Amino acid sequence: MRTFVAARGVALAGLAAASATAAHGGPSALAEPAWSLPALAAASAGVAALLRLMHAASATRSLAARARRGASRATHAPLGFAETAAVMLAAQGCAHVALLAAGAPAHPGQVAALALHTGLALLGAAVVRAADRSLTAALAELAAAIATAAELLLALAGPHRLVPVAAPAGRSPAGACRGRAPPAAA
């Protein structure tokens, strides 16, 4: 069984760090390498993890389509939106502390900063939750395909009734014991 918790965690952490950097630096941060490079690195890690989740969903859907010929199983327990948002806010808080430790200036207005951080965290949580739900749906499709394939195999494996077949005129039935006779004279 395979799980995708690490990919979801990296997606949450990467998007949280990138959004915290964007909240601290604002639009002018793109011109400043001290801001833009960490934000780009965090966003890249987050996007790579999101792509991993989406690839897993796509591969699982393909596997579900082929499950009637053979299958493997993977599991994924999705987080609810509240859990995803809480993790995103916690990750953004950690990124905030790291930015302050790296020398980034604090926000001038606390109320606006908290609203911005919360809004960006909820937006990131919605994106990760969508990828999480997509993977869960794909795994449910796979489970249904496996169940269908198992039902087909069980139906094939059941006892079969032998139906007698009449032999054509002048021939003995297939599989009939014919005995042993001497070779024909030439």
Helices (H), 67-165: 81-101, 110-157
Residue 118: which of 95, 85, 96 has the closest Cα?
85
In the chain, where the domains are located: 5-157
Residue 180 is encoded by which pair of tokens?
A: 């042993």
Q: What are phi and psi of 64, to 5 degrees?
A: -65, -35
Of 67-76, 124-133, 169-178, the range with the highest mean pLDDT is 124-133
pLDDT band at 11 (very low <50, low <70, confident <90, very high): confident
| pLDDT top residue among 184 and 152 | 152
pLDDT band at 172 (very low <50, low <70, confident <90, very high): low
- DSSP, collapsed to helix, strand or coil, labels residue 180 as coil
The letter for the amino acid at 96 is H
Q: Using alpha carbons, list the distances in angstroms from residue 99 to 14, 22, 76, 179.
A: 14, 11, 32, 93
Q: Is the pLDDT of residue 173 over 70?
A: no
